[in-house]
Structure 1
Amino acid sequence: MQEKWDVLEVLRHSRHDWLNRIQLIKGYMATGQSDQLEETITKIVADSLNEAKICSLQIPEFAEFIITYNWKPRTIVLDYEILGEPCSLKNLDEVMTVWIQNFLEKLESWVHIYEENFVSLTIEINDKTVSFFFDFRGKLTKKEDMLKWIVSSSNDSSKIRMMSYFCETEECSIEFKMEK
Protein backbone atom coordinates (compact mmCIF):
# COMPACT_ATOMS: atom_id res chain seq x y z
CA MET A 1 0.00 0.00 0.00
CA GLN A 2 1.29 3.41 -0.93
CA GLU A 3 1.92 5.97 1.78
CA LYS A 4 -0.22 9.11 1.61
CA TRP A 5 1.85 12.27 1.94
CA ASP A 6 0.54 15.14 4.01
CA VAL A 7 1.14 18.70 2.82
CA LEU A 8 4.07 19.32 5.17
CA GLU A 9 5.84 16.11 4.06
CA VAL A 10 5.43 17.07 0.41
CA LEU A 11 6.77 20.56 1.09
CA ARG A 12 9.72 19.15 3.06
CA HIS A 13 10.71 16.76 0.26
CA SER A 14 10.21 19.37 -2.44
CA ARG A 15 12.24 21.96 -0.53
CA HIS A 16 15.02 19.41 0.00
CA ASP A 17 15.12 18.63 -3.75
CA TRP A 18 15.22 22.31 -4.71
CA LEU A 19 17.92 23.12 -2.16
CA ASN A 20 20.05 20.29 -3.58
CA ARG A 21 19.59 21.68 -7.10
CA ILE A 22 20.43 25.23 -6.03
CA GLN A 23 23.55 24.04 -4.19
CA LEU A 24 24.65 22.18 -7.31
CA ILE A 25 24.17 25.33 -9.42
CA LYS A 26 26.07 27.44 -6.88
CA GLY A 27 28.91 24.91 -6.85
CA TYR A 28 29.25 24.94 -10.63
CA MET A 29 29.12 28.76 -10.65
CA ALA A 30 31.77 29.01 -7.93
CA THR A 31 34.14 26.66 -9.74
CA GLY A 32 33.52 28.14 -13.18
CA GLN A 33 32.21 24.88 -14.63
CA SER A 34 29.91 26.54 -17.15
CA ASP A 35 29.25 23.36 -19.18
CA GLN A 36 28.03 21.47 -16.11
CA LEU A 37 26.08 24.54 -14.99
CA GLU A 38 24.26 24.77 -18.33
CA GLU A 39 23.60 21.00 -18.34
CA THR A 40 22.20 21.12 -14.80
CA ILE A 41 19.90 24.06 -15.53
CA THR A 42 18.67 22.36 -18.73
CA LYS A 43 17.93 19.17 -16.75
CA ILE A 44 16.06 21.11 -14.05
CA VAL A 45 13.90 22.85 -16.67
CA ALA A 46 13.17 19.54 -18.44
CA ASP A 47 12.29 17.84 -15.14
CA SER A 48 9.94 20.69 -14.21
CA LEU A 49 8.21 20.57 -17.60
CA ASN A 50 7.76 16.78 -17.31
CA GLU A 51 6.34 17.17 -13.82
CA ALA A 52 3.84 19.72 -15.14
CA LYS A 53 2.90 17.40 -18.04
CA ILE A 54 2.34 14.35 -15.83
CA CYS A 55 0.17 16.44 -13.51
CA SER A 56 -2.00 17.55 -16.46
CA LEU A 57 -2.85 13.98 -17.56
CA GLN A 58 -5.59 13.60 -14.90
CA ILE A 59 -3.96 10.50 -13.41
CA PRO A 60 -3.39 11.64 -9.82
CA GLU A 61 -2.39 8.28 -8.29
CA PHE A 62 0.09 7.52 -11.06
CA ALA A 63 1.52 11.06 -11.06
CA GLU A 64 1.95 11.04 -7.28
CA PHE A 65 3.72 7.69 -7.38
CA ILE A 66 6.11 8.75 -10.16
CA ILE A 67 6.89 12.21 -8.76
CA THR A 68 7.51 10.97 -5.21
CA TYR A 69 9.25 7.69 -6.09
CA ASN A 70 12.79 8.99 -5.55
CA TRP A 71 11.89 10.70 -2.28
CA LYS A 72 12.50 7.49 -0.34
CA PRO A 73 15.72 5.50 -0.15
CA ARG A 74 15.58 3.11 -3.10
CA THR A 75 17.84 0.67 -4.90
CA ILE A 76 16.69 2.22 -8.19
CA VAL A 77 16.61 5.81 -9.44
CA LEU A 78 13.60 6.60 -11.63
CA ASP A 79 13.63 9.24 -14.34
CA TYR A 80 10.68 9.97 -16.61
CA GLU A 81 9.71 11.92 -19.69
CA ILE A 82 6.30 12.65 -21.21
CA LEU A 83 6.06 12.99 -25.00
CA GLY A 84 3.01 14.16 -26.92
CA GLU A 85 0.15 16.45 -26.11
CA PRO A 86 -1.34 16.19 -22.63
CA CYS A 87 -4.87 14.79 -22.49
CA SER A 88 -7.07 13.00 -20.00
CA LEU A 89 -5.92 9.47 -19.17
CA LYS A 90 -8.24 9.32 -16.16
CA ASN A 91 -9.63 5.88 -17.06
CA LEU A 92 -6.09 4.40 -17.07
CA ASP A 93 -4.96 5.76 -13.69
CA GLU A 94 -5.59 2.64 -11.62
CA VAL A 95 -4.19 0.05 -14.04
CA MET A 96 -1.11 2.20 -14.77
CA THR A 97 -0.44 2.80 -11.08
CA VAL A 98 -0.85 -0.83 -10.05
CA TRP A 99 1.36 -2.06 -12.90
CA ILE A 100 4.25 0.34 -12.25
CA GLN A 101 4.07 -0.16 -8.47
CA ASN A 102 4.30 -3.92 -8.93
CA PHE A 103 7.02 -3.65 -11.55
CA LEU A 104 9.27 -1.34 -9.54
CA GLU A 105 8.69 -3.27 -6.31
CA LYS A 106 9.72 -6.50 -8.00
CA LEU A 107 12.60 -4.85 -9.87
CA GLU A 108 13.96 -3.48 -6.58
CA SER A 109 14.11 -7.05 -5.27
CA TRP A 110 15.83 -8.26 -8.46
CA VAL A 111 18.72 -5.77 -8.57
CA HIS A 112 22.12 -5.84 -6.96
CA ILE A 113 21.82 -3.34 -4.09
CA TYR A 114 25.45 -2.15 -4.32
CA GLU A 115 25.23 -1.18 -7.99
CA GLU A 116 23.83 1.97 -9.54
CA ASN A 117 20.45 0.99 -10.96
CA PHE A 118 18.43 3.34 -13.16
CA VAL A 119 15.03 3.11 -14.82
CA SER A 120 14.10 5.61 -17.47
CA LEU A 121 10.39 5.76 -18.26
CA THR A 122 9.16 7.44 -21.43
CA ILE A 123 5.43 7.89 -21.88
CA GLU A 124 4.40 8.71 -25.43
CA ILE A 125 0.84 9.90 -25.95
CA ASN A 126 -0.70 9.39 -29.40
CA ASP A 127 -4.22 9.87 -30.75
CA LYS A 128 -5.54 6.47 -29.66
CA THR A 129 -2.82 4.88 -27.54
CA VAL A 130 -0.34 5.55 -24.79
CA SER A 131 3.04 3.85 -25.13
CA PHE A 132 5.31 3.12 -22.19
CA PHE A 133 9.03 2.55 -22.68
CA PHE A 134 11.06 1.31 -19.73
CA ASP A 135 14.84 1.22 -20.01
CA PHE A 136 16.76 -0.34 -17.12
CA ARG A 137 20.52 0.07 -16.62
CA GLY A 138 22.18 -1.54 -13.65
CA LYS A 139 22.70 -5.08 -12.48
CA LEU A 140 19.99 -7.71 -12.21
CA THR A 141 20.40 -10.65 -9.86
CA LYS A 142 17.25 -12.47 -11.04
CA LYS A 143 16.94 -11.94 -14.78
CA GLU A 144 14.80 -15.07 -15.26
CA ASP A 145 12.29 -13.91 -12.64
CA MET A 146 12.02 -10.56 -14.39
CA LEU A 147 11.41 -12.18 -17.77
CA LYS A 148 8.68 -14.42 -16.32
CA TRP A 149 7.01 -11.47 -14.63
CA ILE A 150 7.08 -9.32 -17.78
CA VAL A 151 5.31 -12.01 -19.79
CA SER A 152 2.78 -12.87 -17.07
CA SER A 153 1.95 -9.23 -16.26
CA SER A 154 0.87 -8.53 -19.81
CA ASN A 155 -1.32 -11.65 -19.76
CA ASP A 156 -2.98 -10.55 -16.50
CA SER A 157 -4.45 -7.34 -17.90
CA SER A 158 -6.64 -6.87 -20.92
CA LYS A 159 -5.65 -3.19 -21.10
CA ILE A 160 -1.88 -3.75 -21.31
CA ARG A 161 -0.54 -4.91 -24.66
CA MET A 162 3.12 -5.94 -24.56
CA MET A 163 4.88 -4.77 -27.70
CA SER A 164 8.45 -5.85 -27.06
CA TYR A 165 10.95 -6.65 -24.37
CA PHE A 166 14.65 -7.34 -24.13
CA CYS A 167 16.44 -8.36 -20.97
CA GLU A 168 20.06 -8.97 -20.13
CA THR A 169 21.83 -8.84 -16.76
CA GLU A 170 22.86 -5.19 -17.10
CA GLU A 171 20.12 -3.75 -19.28
CA CYS A 172 16.47 -4.34 -20.04
CA SER A 173 13.90 -2.64 -22.23
CA ILE A 174 10.16 -3.07 -22.10
CA GLU A 175 7.55 -1.48 -24.33
CA PHE A 176 3.83 -1.77 -23.87
CA LYS A 177 0.77 0.10 -25.09
CA MET A 178 -2.63 0.89 -23.69
CA GLU A 179 -5.73 2.11 -25.49
CA LYS A 180 -6.88 5.52 -24.28
Structure 2
Amino acid sequence: MEERDVIQLLRHYRHDLLNQLQIIDGYLSMGKGEKARIKLADYVGHLQKESKLMNLNAPLFALYVLQLDTLHPNFRSSYYIHSENMDLHQVDQLLVEYFQKIMAITENMIDVMELYELKLHIYDKNSGIVQLELIINGRFPDLSTLVETMGKVNEMITVSEHGDGITCAVCIP
Protein backbone atom coordinates (compact mmCIF):
# COMPACT_ATOMS: atom_id res chain seq x y z
CA MET A 1 0.00 0.00 0.00
CA GLU A 2 1.35 3.39 -1.02
CA GLU A 3 1.68 6.28 1.43
CA ARG A 4 -1.08 8.21 -0.34
CA ASP A 5 -3.39 5.21 0.06
CA VAL A 6 -2.68 5.13 3.79
CA ILE A 7 -3.39 8.85 4.05
CA GLN A 8 -6.63 8.41 2.08
CA LEU A 9 -7.71 5.58 4.39
CA LEU A 10 -6.92 7.67 7.48
CA ARG A 11 -8.76 10.66 5.99
CA HIS A 12 -11.84 8.52 5.38
CA TYR A 13 -11.59 7.00 8.86
CA ARG A 14 -11.27 10.43 10.52
CA HIS A 15 -14.25 11.71 8.51
CA ASP A 16 -16.42 8.79 9.71
CA LEU A 17 -15.30 9.30 13.31
CA LEU A 18 -16.10 13.01 13.21
CA ASN A 19 -19.54 12.26 11.73
CA GLN A 20 -20.31 9.89 14.60
CA LEU A 21 -19.11 12.39 17.20
CA GLN A 22 -21.16 15.20 15.62
CA ILE A 23 -24.29 13.05 15.74
CA ILE A 24 -23.69 12.26 19.41
CA ASP A 25 -22.98 15.94 20.13
CA GLY A 26 -26.17 16.91 18.31
CA TYR A 27 -28.26 14.56 20.43
CA LEU A 28 -26.66 15.92 23.60
CA SER A 29 -27.23 19.55 22.56
CA MET A 30 -30.93 18.75 22.00
CA GLY A 31 -31.15 17.17 25.44
CA LYS A 32 -31.57 13.67 24.02
CA GLY A 33 -29.10 11.94 26.32
CA GLU A 34 -30.60 8.49 25.83
CA LYS A 35 -30.26 8.68 22.04
CA ALA A 36 -26.67 9.89 22.49
CA ARG A 37 -25.91 6.93 24.79
CA ILE A 38 -27.42 4.50 22.25
CA LYS A 39 -25.40 6.03 19.40
CA LEU A 40 -22.24 5.94 21.51
CA ALA A 41 -22.85 2.29 22.45
CA ASP A 42 -23.36 1.46 18.75
CA TYR A 43 -20.09 3.13 17.86
CA VAL A 44 -18.21 1.38 20.67
CA GLY A 45 -19.62 -1.92 19.32
CA HIS A 46 -18.36 -0.98 15.86
CA LEU A 47 -14.88 -0.26 17.26
CA GLN A 48 -14.85 -3.58 19.13
CA LYS A 49 -15.76 -5.40 15.92
CA GLU A 50 -12.99 -3.53 14.14
CA SER A 51 -10.58 -4.58 16.89
CA LYS A 52 -11.46 -8.24 16.23
CA LEU A 53 -10.66 -7.69 12.56
CA MET A 54 -7.27 -6.17 13.43
CA ASN A 55 -6.50 -9.02 15.84
CA LEU A 56 -6.77 -11.61 13.04
CA ASN A 57 -3.10 -10.86 12.30
CA ALA A 58 -3.93 -10.48 8.61
CA PRO A 59 -3.02 -6.88 7.73
CA LEU A 60 -3.65 -7.12 3.97
CA PHE A 61 -7.06 -8.66 4.54
CA ALA A 62 -7.97 -6.12 7.25
CA LEU A 63 -7.02 -3.21 4.98
CA TYR A 64 -9.08 -4.63 2.14
CA VAL A 65 -12.12 -5.11 4.38
CA LEU A 66 -11.82 -1.58 5.79
CA GLN A 67 -11.69 -0.14 2.25
CA LEU A 68 -14.52 -2.22 0.79
CA ASP A 69 -17.12 0.53 0.50
CA THR A 70 -14.56 2.86 -1.09
CA LEU A 71 -13.13 0.29 -3.51
CA HIS A 72 -16.56 -1.05 -4.46
CA PRO A 73 -18.97 1.92 -4.45
CA ASN A 74 -22.03 -0.16 -5.42
CA PHE A 75 -21.72 -2.19 -2.22
CA ARG A 76 -22.40 -1.45 1.44
CA SER A 77 -20.54 -3.91 3.57
CA SER A 78 -20.57 -5.29 7.07
CA TYR A 79 -18.40 -7.98 8.55
CA TYR A 80 -18.63 -10.49 11.37
CA ILE A 81 -15.74 -12.39 12.96
CA HIS A 82 -16.93 -15.67 14.49
CA SER A 83 -13.87 -16.48 16.57
CA GLU A 84 -11.83 -14.93 19.32
CA ASN A 85 -8.33 -16.23 18.64
CA MET A 86 -7.69 -16.68 14.94
CA ASP A 87 -4.23 -16.01 13.54
CA LEU A 88 -4.61 -15.68 9.78
CA HIS A 89 -1.11 -14.46 9.01
CA GLN A 90 -0.31 -17.57 6.95
CA VAL A 91 -3.38 -17.14 4.71
CA ASP A 92 -3.54 -13.33 4.64
CA GLN A 93 -2.72 -12.93 0.93
CA LEU A 94 -4.89 -15.89 -0.04
CA LEU A 95 -7.92 -14.41 1.74
CA VAL A 96 -7.49 -11.16 -0.16
CA GLU A 97 -7.07 -12.96 -3.49
CA TYR A 98 -10.26 -14.99 -3.07
CA PHE A 99 -12.20 -11.97 -1.85
CA GLN A 100 -11.00 -9.85 -4.78
CA LYS A 101 -11.80 -12.62 -7.26
CA ILE A 102 -15.36 -12.91 -5.94
CA MET A 103 -15.82 -9.14 -6.01
CA ALA A 104 -14.42 -8.80 -9.56
CA ILE A 105 -16.81 -11.42 -10.94
CA THR A 106 -19.75 -9.95 -9.03
CA GLU A 107 -19.01 -6.38 -10.13
CA ASN A 108 -18.99 -7.47 -13.77
CA MET A 109 -22.57 -8.70 -13.39
CA ILE A 110 -24.28 -5.97 -11.36
CA ASP A 111 -26.63 -3.18 -12.30
CA VAL A 112 -24.47 -0.05 -11.79
CA MET A 113 -27.55 1.90 -10.73
CA GLU A 114 -28.21 -0.54 -7.88
CA LEU A 115 -26.79 -0.60 -4.34
CA TYR A 116 -25.90 -4.07 -3.05
CA GLU A 117 -25.58 -5.34 0.51
CA LEU A 118 -22.49 -7.40 1.27
CA LYS A 119 -22.11 -9.33 4.51
CA LEU A 120 -18.76 -10.95 5.20
CA HIS A 121 -18.52 -13.73 7.77
CA ILE A 122 -15.24 -15.28 8.90
CA TYR A 123 -15.45 -18.61 10.69
CA ASP A 124 -12.79 -20.61 12.45
CA LYS A 125 -13.65 -24.17 11.46
CA ASN A 126 -12.17 -27.23 13.16
CA SER A 127 -8.63 -28.37 12.36
CA GLY A 128 -7.34 -24.90 11.49
CA ILE A 129 -9.64 -24.33 8.52
CA VAL A 130 -10.84 -20.77 7.92
CA GLN A 131 -14.10 -20.14 6.10
CA LEU A 132 -14.70 -16.89 4.29
CA GLU A 133 -18.39 -16.42 3.50
CA LEU A 134 -19.83 -13.55 1.47
CA ILE A 135 -23.56 -12.97 1.31
CA ILE A 136 -24.41 -10.48 -1.43
CA ASN A 137 -27.97 -9.22 -1.73
CA GLY A 138 -29.51 -6.97 -4.35
CA ARG A 139 -31.16 -7.04 -7.76
CA PHE A 140 -28.84 -8.79 -10.18
CA PRO A 141 -29.65 -8.54 -13.91
CA ASP A 142 -28.88 -12.25 -14.42
CA LEU A 143 -28.47 -14.06 -11.12
CA SER A 144 -28.27 -17.56 -12.59
CA THR A 145 -25.38 -16.57 -14.90
CA LEU A 146 -23.58 -15.00 -11.96
CA VAL A 147 -23.92 -18.22 -9.95
CA GLU A 148 -22.77 -20.31 -12.93
CA THR A 149 -19.78 -18.04 -13.65
CA MET A 150 -18.74 -17.94 -10.01
CA GLY A 151 -18.90 -21.73 -9.79
CA LYS A 152 -16.55 -22.15 -12.76
CA VAL A 153 -13.83 -19.81 -11.54
CA ASN A 154 -12.30 -21.94 -8.82
CA GLU A 155 -13.34 -25.24 -7.28
CA MET A 156 -12.52 -23.83 -3.83
CA ILE A 157 -15.39 -21.33 -4.15
CA THR A 158 -18.83 -22.73 -3.48
CA VAL A 159 -21.76 -20.58 -4.49
CA SER A 160 -25.48 -20.79 -3.94
CA GLU A 161 -28.41 -18.66 -4.97
CA HIS A 162 -30.91 -17.38 -2.43
CA GLY A 163 -33.88 -15.07 -2.83
CA ASP A 164 -32.34 -11.85 -4.08
CA GLY A 165 -28.68 -12.73 -3.95
CA ILE A 166 -25.85 -15.21 -3.65
CA THR A 167 -23.71 -16.77 -0.95
CA CYS A 168 -20.08 -17.52 -1.79
CA ALA A 169 -17.91 -19.53 0.56
CA VAL A 170 -14.25 -20.49 0.53
CA CYS A 171 -12.61 -22.85 3.01
CA ILE A 172 -8.87 -22.32 3.38
CA PRO A 173 -6.70 -24.85 5.23
**Equivalent in the alignment of 1:175:** 169
Letter of the aligned partner of 2:2 in structure 1?
A: K
Structure 2 residue ranges without an equivalent (≥5) = none
Measure the CA separation in 1 of the matches of 2:41 and 2:110: 30
Aligned sequence identity (%): 19
Under a length normalisation based on structure 1, what TM-score does the superposition of the two structures give? 0.78
Contact 1:161/1:178, CA 8 A, preserved across alignment: no
Secondary structure of the equivalent of 1:57? coil
**Equivalent in the alignment of 2:89:** 90
Report the alpha carbon displacement of residue 119 of structure 1 after superposing the two structures with TM: 0.2
Aligned-pair RMSD on alpha carbons? 2.6
- Summarize deviations over 1:26-58 as a string: whole Å, max 9, x none: 3444553945x5554343223212221222222
Identify if the C-alpha distance between structure 1 residues 46 and 106 changes in structure 2 by more than 3 Å, giving closer, same or farther: farther
Under a length normalisation based on structure 2, what TM-score does the superposition of the two structures give? 0.81
The list of structure 1 runs, each at least 4 consecutive aligned residues, that deviate by more than 6 angstroms after superposition, is none
Identify if the C-alpha distance between structure 1 residues 174 and 143 changes in structure 2 by more than 3 Å, giving closer, same or farther: same
- Summarize deviations over 1:114-150 as a string: whole Å, max 9, x none: 2331101111123422122222221112313321232
Structure 1 residue ranges without an equivalent (≥5) = none
Aligned length: 170
Identify if the C-alpha distance between structure 1 residues 153 and 73 changes in structure 2 by more than 3 Å, giving closer, same or farther: closer
**Equivalent in the alignment of 2:140:** 140
